[in-house]
């Protein structure tokens, strides 16, 4: 029934990209004034944004900001208290279920099944499942395909869950904190997978509290706190808009004796590194030299999303 319409829509979307008229393509997902109120808390309190077809959209925020609540309403799992969510211009229906790939923050599966059996089960739940071989290749599952799915390492498990999320060849993929708890290697590995998916012109909606991850993967981000979006845009544009300064980093031990006398603004950072913000590096260095601070351990870096985040929320990210 819907199957005939899907390829046609995909062609439209691709034509839009090829023609360079990206704005002419309607957003694949649109969220309007979305709210989720629980008796004791307003988890999501009026959120609006749209996700362009083929883009990677990142929802950022500290724990409890409302990211997961927002993404789960978009996935059709939670019912919103108010507001609208449109998928390809329509409310989410059966077609959305068939065309969305979903990886929850923590996904539970049936016990006692191997990775292959898990994939096959989900493959059969969709009208058009991809061949297993393709998923296995994309997500690099070969080496543990016949292992009990409950006996995988964190990284292996996330790759399998991503495989399950991709098994219906989805148009839009939801990844809720996919790399939380992974070691740095597994995280890099996962990023590479996400880039592969992006290369297939899939739309990705990602939540994370790693700014680095958002910066590397996302075309557009929205930073949430207390159920609202407090900043929204392309990562580079956001940084350019909020910051015209750079950060000078010094070992805390060198900086401490003169800390009270430095006129430049200091970032409220945990030791052992002191950070000074300035638009004029020369002036700042002059000041430090005049105060007799050793500059041996000095580093200058540009502003990151993490700085932006701290600036906007005033909270430590990973707390």
**Do the beta carbons of residue 209 and residue 218 sit within 8 Å?**
no
Please report how close the Cβ of residue 97 comes to another protein at its closest, in angstroms.
4
Asked if 6 is part of the footprint of another protein (rule: CB under 8 A), the reply reads: no
State how far the Cα of 278 lies from the Cα of 7, in Å rounded to an integer: 52
Select the residue interacting with another protein from 5, 94, 188, 300 (CB under 8 A): 94
Q: Kindly tell me which of 109 and 273 has the beta carbon lying closer to another protein.
A: 109
User: What is the smallest separation between the CB atom of 140 and another protein, expressed in angstroms?
Assistant: 22
Q: How far is the CB of 176 from another protein (least distance, A)?
A: 11
Binding mask 105-144 for another protein (x = CB under 8 A): -xxxxxxxx---x--xxx-xxxx-----------------
Considering Cα of 216, then 217, then 218, then 219, what sign does the dihedral take?
positive
Residue 100 interacts with another protein (CB under 8 A): yes or no: yes
Q: How far is the CB of 192 from another protein (least distance, A)?
A: 25
DSSP 129: P
How long a stretch of residues is the chain?
Answer: 319
SS3 label, residue 240? helix
Q: Please state, in angstroms and rounded to a whole number, the distance separating the CA atoms of residues 162 and 178.
A: 9
Could you tell me if 238 and 305 are in contact, meaning their C-beta atoms sit under 8 angstroms apart? yes
- The strands making up 246-251's β-sheet, listed across from edge to edge, are 265-266, 273-278, 246-251, 299-302
Nearer to another protein, 98 or 197 (CB): 98
Of 177-216, which residues contact another protein (CB under 8 A)? none
Kindly list the residues in this chain that would bind another protein in the complex (CB under 8 A). Answer: 75-79, 94, 97-98, 100, 102, 104, 106-113, 117, 120-122, 124-127, 168
């Amino acid at each position: 029934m819907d199957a005939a319409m899907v390829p046609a829509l995909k062609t439209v979307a691709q034509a839009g990209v090829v023609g360079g008229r990206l704005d002419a393509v309607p957003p694949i997902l649109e969220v309007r004034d979305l709210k989720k109120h629980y008796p004791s808390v307003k988890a999501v309190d009026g959120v609006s944004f749209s996700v362009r077809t083929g883009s990677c959209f990142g929802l950022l925020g500290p724990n409890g900001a409302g990211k997961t609540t927002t993404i789960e309403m978009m996935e059709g799992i939670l019912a919103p208290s108010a507001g609208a969510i449109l998928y390809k211009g329509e409310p989410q229906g059966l077609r959305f279920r068939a065309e969305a790939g979903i990886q929850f923050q923590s996904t539970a599966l049936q016990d006692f099944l191997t990775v292959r059996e898990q994939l096959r089960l989900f493959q059969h739940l969709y009208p058009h499942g991809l061949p297993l071989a393709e998923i296995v290749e994309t997500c690099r599952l070969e080496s543990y395909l016949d292992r009990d799915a409950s006996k995988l390492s964190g990284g292996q498990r996330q790759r399998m869950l991503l495989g399950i999320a991709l098994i219906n060849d989805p148009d839009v993929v939801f990844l809720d904190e996919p790399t939380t708890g992974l070691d740095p290697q597994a995280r890099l590995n996962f990023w590479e997978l996400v880039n592969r998916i992006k290369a297939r012109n899939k739309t990705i909606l990602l939540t994370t509290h790693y700014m680095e991850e958002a910066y590397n993967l996302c075309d557009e981000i929205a930073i949430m706190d207390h159920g609202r979006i407090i900043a929204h845009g392309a990562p580079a544009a956001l940084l350019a808009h909020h910051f015209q300064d750079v950060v000078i980093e010094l070992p805390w031990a060198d900086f401490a004796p003169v800390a009270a006398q430095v006129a430049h603004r200091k970032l409220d950072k945990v030791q052992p590194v002191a950070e000074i913000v300035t638009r004029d590096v020369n002036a700042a260095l002059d000041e430090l030299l005049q105060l007799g601070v050793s500059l041996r351990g000095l580093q200058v870096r540009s502003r990151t999303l993490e700085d932006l985040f701290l600036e906007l929320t005033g909270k430590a990210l990973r707390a």
